[in-house]
Structure 1
Amino acid sequence: MNFVELNVYGVLISPLAAIMTVAFLVLILLRRFIAATGLSRHIWHPALFDVSLYLIILSFLVMATRWHGS
């Protein structure tokens, strides 16, 4: 499957940029959930955890869009 650029008012946007934005929004929601439940006190390195979680979410969304389009 080929990703197709998104046309936003005449400006072509890479589909990866759109997926990255969605992944970042999901990361924000998950971090708020983790902080609200108190699980954040078990995280040894918060910055490393955030990057790892973002990459997991991003890779899941990329794989999900590939599977959905096939």
Structure 2
Amino acid sequence: MPLELDLYGVYLPGVFGLMLAAYLIVRGLRAVAARTGFYALVWHRALFDLAVYVIVLDALFSYTSKLIP
């Protein structure tokens, strides 16, 4: 993974792409959870969403770090 992303002269950290991917995945998971009524079982929705985001981000980071020697 590159250390920096060059976006029209603006340098962003390389983890930014993983953070964006994790956000999009969690956004889809939130939609599925809301439609199925899963949030009725969750005590604190915001904390649950944050925990799922951290788990997905860690999974993406672990997966990509194994791809790069």
TM range (shorter): 0.7 to 0.9
Q: Does 1:58 align with 2:57?
A: yes
Partners of 2:36 and 2:7 lie apart in 1 by 38
Tell me the CA shift for residue 9 of structure 1. Answer: 2.0
Question: Gaps spanning 5+ residues in structure 1: where?
Answer: none
Partners of 2:67 and 2:35 lie apart in 1 by 32
Identity of aligned residues (%): 35
TM-score w.r.t. the length of structure 1 is 0.85
Partners of 2:64 and 2:9 lie apart in 1 by 23
After TM superposition, list the pairs within 5 Å mapping 1:1-70 onto structure 2.
3-70=2-69
TM-score w.r.t. the length of structure 2 is 0.86
Tell me the CA shift for residue 3 of structure 1. Answer: 4.1
Partners of 2:9 and 2:63 lie apart in 1 by 27
Question: Gaps spanning 5+ residues in structure 2: where?
Answer: none
Cα RMSD between the aligned structures? Answer: 1.4
